[in-house]
């Protein structure tokens, strides 16, 4: 496929997306249609992937693991769960592995659906798990963010009723990158987790200096913290994620997995274990993300586009004051991924790439 065909395909997919009934329900399918098969020199800033990963140690571990992938990976699954548990002051009994955290977000929402009630979630937020949850019989009440694009905890509480079985919170938030201050989140967990499942999605915590709330799982069996190897560890394609929760809750989740902890491949598990040990690489990614993010901030300021400071690997900004269509302009220069998450709004999310990639974004916005 040449560049023009790739762009035409991308434009068609975006147009089809705009007319779809639920702009979010088919997100995964749309992303695949839009971005698969693009030439390698396209800059992909659509899905908050880590442009640096996997770490050198993870690459080596994965290549070595190919040789032993004729065997089921019980030993390494256990080692990884032990390692993850120890990093959070917990044990392997507090950990369940999945093929990416989205599998586990789905599993937790099925657990909530089985209780026959509703769920509450912010809007906009990470919605990939929602269509399946609804099909399992879990209606979801969506709660607008605050003016500052932060999850509105008070409104979330106000939206709960006697039938609310789960509250989903993504912190830092996707697509906005904003954070709920740790103290406020802790108070929310202490108040709400005695009543229903609190599913806390911490996919991006490592990009900030904010603490994980996993330290509360022993006190609150309803607290479920989802984390992933897809972001700071740069292993989105390897599909490895995990959930931290009270052992009693982990056992309930295991019961919903046809074969518990067996969804992650031997190769991905080896990469994940090596990644956790490669702290130098994680620090490097965090610093590079900060540098690249500030380049983008400066470009947005120069272009007169307001943004909310981000604690993640993407930035949410208001393209309304810009005199051109930002998505089209970037696409015309092979930079793919600026998109909206709010119907009728010009706020866009763009992932943060490498320093060089964000310099290219800055040049395009200047021109």
Q: Which positions lie near ligand PLP, rule CB under 6 A?
A: 47-48, 100-102, 126, 170, 174, 201, 203, 228, 230, 236, 241
Nearer of residues 108 and 362 to ligand PLP, judged by Cβ? 108
Q: Which is nearer to ligand PLP, 203 or 362 (CB)?
A: 203
Nearer to ligand PLP, 203 or 303 (CB): 203
Closer CB to ligand PLP, 105 or 365, in the complex? 105
Residue 315, beta-bridge partner list: 350
Q: Which lies closer to ligand PLP via its Cβ, residue 232 or residue 295?
A: 232
Nearer CB in complex with ligand PLP: 227/360: 227
Comparison of 58 and 303: residue with beta carbon closer to ligand PLP: 58
Give the Å distances, CA to CA, from 67 to 63, 99, 128: 8, 21, 34
What whole-number distance in Å separates Cα of residue 292 and Cα of residue 354?
A: 6
Contacts made by residues 246-253, CB under 8 angstroms, sequence distance 24+: 246/94, 246/217, 246/218, 246/220, 246/221, 247/91, 247/93, 247/94, 248/221, 249/217, 249/221, 249/222, 249/224, 250/93, 250/94, 250/95, 250/96, 252/111, 253/96, 253/104, 253/107, 253/108, 253/111, 253/224
CA gap 218, 245 in Å, rounded = 7
For 57, 79, 229, 247, 310, the CA distances from 273, given in Å and listed in that order, are: 9, 8, 10, 21, 28
188 or 314, CB closer to ligand PLP? 314
If we measure between CA atoms, which residue out of 246, 241, 249, 182 comes closest to residue 217?
246
User: Least distance from C-beta 11 to ligand PLP, angstroms?
Assistant: 23
Minimum distance, C-beta of residue 336 to ligand PLP, in the bound complex (Å): 16
The pair of structure tokens assigned to 84 is 């993850």
Instruction: Kindly state the smallest distance separating residue 145's Cβ from ligand PLP, in Å.
Output: 14
Which position's Cβ is nearest ligand PLP? 100
Min dist CB 105 to ligand PLP, Å, is: 6
Closest CB 172 distance from ligand PLP, rounded Å: 9
CB 265 within 8 A of CB 73: yes
Minimum distance, C-beta of residue 184 to ligand PLP, in the bound complex (Å): 19
The answer to whether 342 and 124 are in contact (CB under 8 A) is yes
CA angle 357, 362, 367 (to 5 degrees): 125
Beta-bridge partner residues of 175:
none
Compute the chain's Rg from CA coordinates: 20
Q: How many whole angstroms separate alpha carbon 256 and alpha carbon 274?
A: 28
Choice between 174 and 249, CB closer to ligand PLP: 174
Q: At what angle do helices 247-256 and 101-113 cross, to 10 degrees?
A: 90
CB of 93 to ligand PLP, least distance (A): 22
Output the smallest distance, CB 304 to ligand PLP, in A. Answer: 28
């Amino acid at each position: 496929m040449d560049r023009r065909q790739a762009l035409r395909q991308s434009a068609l997919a975006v147009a089809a997306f705009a007319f779809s009934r639920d702009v979010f329900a088919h997100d995964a399918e749309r992303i695949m249609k839009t971005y698969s098969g693009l030439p390698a020199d396209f800059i992909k800033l659509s899905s908050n992937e880590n442009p640096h990963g996997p770490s050198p140690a993870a690459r080596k571990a994965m290549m070595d693991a190919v040789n032993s992938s004729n065997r089921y990976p019980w030993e390494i699954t256990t080692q990884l769960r032990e390692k993850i548990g120890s990093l959070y002051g917990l044990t392997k009994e507090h950990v369940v592995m999945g093929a990416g955290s989205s599998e586990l977000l789905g599993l937790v929402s099925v657990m909530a659906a089985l209780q026959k009630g509703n769920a509450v979630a912010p809007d906009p937020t990470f919605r990939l798990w929602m269509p399946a949850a609804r099909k399992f019989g879990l209606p979801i009440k969506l709660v607008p963010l605050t003016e500052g694009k932060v999850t509105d905890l008070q409104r979330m509480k106000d939206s709960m009723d006697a039938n609310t079985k789960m509250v989903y919170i993504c912190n830092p938030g996707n697509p906005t990158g904003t954070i709920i201050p740790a103290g406020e989140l802790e108070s929310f967990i202490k108040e709400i987790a005695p009543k229903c499942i609190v599913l806390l999605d911490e996919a991006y915590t490592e990009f900030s200096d904010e603490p994980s709330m996993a330290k509360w799982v022993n006190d609150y069996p309803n607290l479920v913290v989802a984390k992933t190897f897809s972001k700071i560890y740069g292993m989105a394609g390897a599909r490895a994620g995990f959930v931290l929760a009270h052992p009693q809750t982990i056992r309930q989740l295991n019961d919903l997995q046809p074969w518990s902890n067996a969804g992650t491949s031997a190769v991905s598990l080896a990469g994940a274990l090596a990644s956790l040990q490669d702290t130098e690489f994680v620090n490097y990614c965090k610093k590079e993300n900060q540098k690249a993010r500030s380049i983008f901030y400066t470009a947005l300021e120069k272009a007169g586009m307001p943004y909310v400071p981000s604690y993640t690997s993407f930035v949410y900004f208001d393209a309304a004051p810009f005199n051109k269509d930002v998505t089209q302009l970037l696409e015309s220069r092979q930079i793919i991924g600026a998109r909206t998450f709010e119907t009728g709004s010009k706020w866009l999310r763009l992932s943060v790439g490498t320093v060089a990639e964000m310099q290219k974004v800055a040049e395009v916005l200047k021109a």
